[in-house]
Amino acid sequence: MPRFRALAPSVLIAATALAGCSVGPDYTPRSAADLGVPDAYSVTAPPTREDLTRWWTRFNDPLLGSLVEQGAAANTDVAQAVGRLRQAREALVQSRASLLPTVSGSTGYQRNENLRGGGRSFTLPDGTVVDTGGGGTNNFSVGLSASYQVGLFGEVRRTVEASRAQYEASGFDYATVLLSVESEIARNYVLARAYQAQLANARASLAIQDDNLEIAGFRVQAGLVSSLDQEQARSQRAQTAATIPQLEQQYNAAVSRVGVLTGQAPGALKAQLAAVRPIPVAPAVIGVGIPADALRQRPDIRSAERALAAATARIGVAKAALYPALAITGNINTNSTSIGNIGDAITGGLFAGLTQAIFNGGRLRSQVRTQEAATDVALANYRGTVLLALEDIENAIAALQSAQARTREFTVALDAANTSAILSRSQYRSGLTDFTTLNQQEAALLSARNGLTQARSDAAAAQIALYVALGGGWDATTIPEAPPRAGNEAR
């Protein structure tokens, strides 16, 4: 035992010193220039950066805000992302456990009885021979064993490094899903309000066309015009009426989608959204900052960066397999025929073994090259994600500017079309113009109304797209952590 106690610390110290060596490349974050990020956007946008953590509050619509927050808490896609994040956390816990020894204990009791025969004879000092029957015996044992896989060339540390990076990537994946759900709820909410406005436009036009049909009928009966006017009025009214069922179907689909996105049945929100409300409007000017901000704000970019870090660490794991592996095992045991003297005799052992791959047909080196290729793929994906993010931002900026310009023009067009329709209707009543002219002006009025509604809807959708493209909707100053499973906090 003294030699065992003297040898154990020296072996552990040597193993610890060797374990400080890690093969494989150390990960180095790429700069914005390495990723091809320009200094400024190619479209005109304010360079100031705004806090977009809760961008939906900028629309000043309490119901919209409530639905977005409800979806963030109850959406099934978000719940799946949280589950994957918890899985990644446990994978990290398991990897970290490899840094420590594995210790196990055992205890046992054995009773032996002679069922037949097995007696023994004893000769006393005076020469008397005594025969004894076959009695039973007890045996008690206690043991403790430990094993430790020493990562001489950093394979354990690299595995933990890869697991940690993958856990962080899963956190950013969760944030990406969260942003997608938030934007989808807001976008479908805007669509629902836009369809309500288009339905109101169609029904207002239908009421006017009912009046025009009645007037045309009176004029035909009076012999002032031919029945052509009446048939044109009837055709126009039917075409307008035909758009209403389609708009109702599209409205129902948008409301159902919002319901499902918030973790409810499709029809759960129909009563809540039934009251007609205007399309929500956010401030026209949005500070987008500079392109490099996207590297910090976009969770999909940060996830791709962490995936690259994990792939880089796995190169070290693969390279370490080319070098010797050291395993240390030790045990302490005691056996006794009674519990009282179980500690009288203790035995122990220590074993340290090195294993080295000698021939494997090039498999291990191929695994290294495989991981290097996987790292190249992760780097290309990282760069591609960055470029796609910048494309999303610029497209959203252009779409918003286009929608805002169309809104201004359709506002003017609606005012002019409304005035023209009023004048045409008055002139037709007085017989100063024909029904074809009135029909054209009424159609132009409906088109201008729907055009303005569509432009406002597109502007709101573009604002939502820009907020999300900029990485709004989550706290980018933190790395999302996995919450405990509901009801299992004590496990």
Mark 479-488 as b/e (b = at least 16 C-beta within 10 Å).
ebebeeeeee
Q: Where are the beta strands (DSSP E) in 100-254?
A: 102-112, 120-123, 129-132, 137-150
3-class SS of residue 148 = strand
Nearest-10 crossing angle of helices 76-97, 62-74: 40
**What pLDDT score was predicted for residue 7?**
45
Among all chains, which residue has been given the structure tokens 């900026």?
A: 397
Are the CB atoms for 75 and 260 separated by under 8 Å?
no
Among all chains, which residue has been given the structure tokens 């790292």?
A: 375
Element (H, E) at 335: strand 325-336
**What pLDDT score was predicted for residue 122?**
58
Provide the residue-wise pLDDT of the chain in tens; the chain has 491 residues.
444 444 445 544 554 555 557 898 999 999 999 999 999 999 988 888 889 999 999 999 999 999 999 999 999 999 999 999 999 999 999 999 988 899 998 888 887 776 665 556 656 666 666 555 556 677 888 889 998 888 888 889 999 999 999 999 999 999 999 999 999 999 999 999 999 999 999 999 899 888 888 877 877 787 777 788 788 888 888 998 999 999 999 999 999 999 999 999 999 999 999 999 999 999 988 999 999 999 999 999 999 999 999 999 999 999 998 999 888 998 998 887 777 777 777 888 888 888 888 888 899 999 999 999 999 999 999 999 999 999 999 999 999 999 999 999 999 999 999 999 889 888 888 878 888 888 888 889 999 999 999 999 999 999 999 999 999 999 999 999 988 776 554 34
For residue 416, which of 440, 444, 436 has the smallest C-alpha distance?
444
Q: Which two tokens stand for residue 205?
A: 């036009």
**What pLDDT score was predicted for residue 6?**
47
For residue 257, which of 249, 248, 266 has the smallest C-alpha distance?
266
Q: For residues 99 and 355, what is the distance between their CA atoms, to the nearest angstrom?
A: 19
**What pLDDT score was predicted for residue 435?**
80
Among all chains, which residue has been given the structure tokens 């927050």?
A: 69
Q: For residues 208 and 424, what is the distance between their CA atoms, to the nearest angstrom?
A: 12
pTM exceeding 0.95: no
**What pLDDT score was predicted for residue 357?**
87
Among all chains, which residue has been given the structure tokens 């029909």?
A: 439
Q: For residues 313 and 491, what is the distance between their CA atoms, to the nearest angstrom?
A: 31
Which residues have a Cβ under 8 Å from the Cβ of 69 and sit 6 or more positions away? none
Q: Which two tokens stand for residue 36?
A: 């091809």
